[in-house]
Amino acid sequence: MKIVSWNCNGAFRKKFQHISQEEADIYIIQECEDPNQIVKIDPSFKYFTHNHLWAGENKNKGLGVFIKNGISINKIDLSNNYNQLHLKWFIPFEINNQQIIAVWSHHGDSDEYRYIGQFWCFLQVNKELLNNSIILGDFNSNAIWDYKRSECTHSNCVKQLKEIGINSIYHTLENIEHGKELIPTFYLQKKLNKKYHIDYIFSPTELIQKTKTFNIGNFEKWKEISDHVPIIWEY
């Protein structure tokens, strides 16, 4: 199985051919448009997005899951509500009996539970159902910002995932702590001096041990079309 996560920084219909060269089975794309609401759609983009799930409020910027044609995808019903707060954005689905959670941790409707706070809330209401899940996407978070929060911190989320046997692939393979990453995934305003690691693939330990390849994209290759680089995992 080959999986890609990438924040395309909008206008995915103009950029999909770059990432499709990875020939992955699953593409998790943040900040992409809803394919069903494009008036004039290119035939090749229509083919690429034929097998998909999408979530968002703005038709031009949401969270998309795009699956290789011929692979069956089943959407899973998990809670997107925490104390009457609607969480944004998570797409739970299943492929070949493997549960996967696509993530774009959004600002949401609450300053208290913005970004990683959205994922923290998602964990509280779904944690018992997430063991053996692959959880990946743009979390807009890093342990270096823990000090800004009391409870719903990045490190607290990592701890709770670890309790159910789920860990970051990058941090496990590189034996590195959260907050001390050497490879960025995001370049604010596309500036080299504003680089952060905020995109992750979390996985059960047994799948991490089956890793064939794990790569984080090179910024020089991707900077013309996005402020994020893709994360690519094959097992």
Q: What is the pLDDT of residues 6-29, one digit of tens each?
A: 999 999 999 999 999 999 999 999
Q: How many CA atoms lie within 13 A of 219 on its CB side?
A: 17
Strand-strand pairing, 213-216 and 85-86: unpaired
Mean pLDDT value across the chain: 96
Question: CATH: 1.10.275.10, 3.30.465.10, 3.60.10.10, 2.40.50.180. Which one for 2-234?
Answer: 3.60.10.10
Confidence of residue 125 (pLDDT cuts 50, 70, 90): very high
**186: part of which helix (H) or strand (E)?**
strand 186-187
Is the separation of the CB atoms in 90 and 122 below 8 Å? Answer: yes
**Preceding omega of 120 cis (within 30 degrees of 0):** no
State the angle between helix axes of 116-126 and 154-163 in degrees (0 to 180), rounded to the nearest 10: 30
Count CA atoms closer than 13 A to 133's CA, side-chain side: 24
Task: Give me the mean pLDDT over the 48-57 stretch.
Answer: 96
- What pLDDT was estimated at residue 41? 86
User: Which pLDDT does position 27 carry in this prediction?
Assistant: 98
Sorted by where each begins, the domain ranges of the chain are 2-234
Residue 181 main-chain phi, psi, to 5 deg? -65, 145
Six token digits for residue 10: 């909008």
Judged against a pLDDT cut of 90, whether residue 40 lies above it is answered with no
Q: Tell me the C-alpha distance between 54 and 78, whole Å.
A: 15
Once rounded to an integer, what is the mean pLDDT over residues 92-98? 96
For residue 198, the SS3 value is coil
Residue 226: pLDDT band with limits 50, 70, 90: very high
pLDDT over 90 at 232, yes or no: yes
pLDDT in tens, 104-118: 999 988 888 999 999
